[in-house]
């Protein structure tokens, strides 16, 4: 019977994965900062106003 073995971890591949994960973390942090800036901008403008461009009068 053939023994099933787990694939050996290669240090080079682990390093590539680590670099990719660090980049994802940086991207997520950038998105979080962008979301916070958007939220601050929305709060600074106050409540959303309804457009008066469409008249309901006959």
Model confidence over 5-56: pLDDT tens digits?
766 779 999 999 999 999 999 999 999 999 999 999 999 998 776 666 655 5
Which pLDDT score, from 0 to 100, does residue 9 have?
74
Task: Give the chain's largest Cα–Cα span.
Answer: 87
At 52, which helix (H) or strand (E)?
none
Which pLDDT score, from 0 to 100, does residue 54 have?
59
Q: What pLDDT band is residue 57 in, cutting at 50, 70 and 90? A: low
CA–CA gap between residue 58 and residue 25 (Å, rounded): 56
**If we measure between CA atoms, which residue out of 21, 41, 45 comes closest to residue 33?**
41
Which pLDDT score, from 0 to 100, does residue 55 have?
57
CA atoms within 13 A on the CB side of 32: 6
């Amino acid at each position: 019977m053939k023994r099933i073995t787990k694939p050996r971890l290669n240090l080079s591949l682990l390093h590539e994965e680590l670099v990719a994960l660090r980049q994802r973390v940086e991207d997520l942090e950038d998105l979080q900062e962008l979301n916070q800036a958007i939220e601050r901008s929305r709060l600074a403008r106050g409540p959303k106003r309804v457009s008066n461009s469409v008249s309901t009068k006959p």
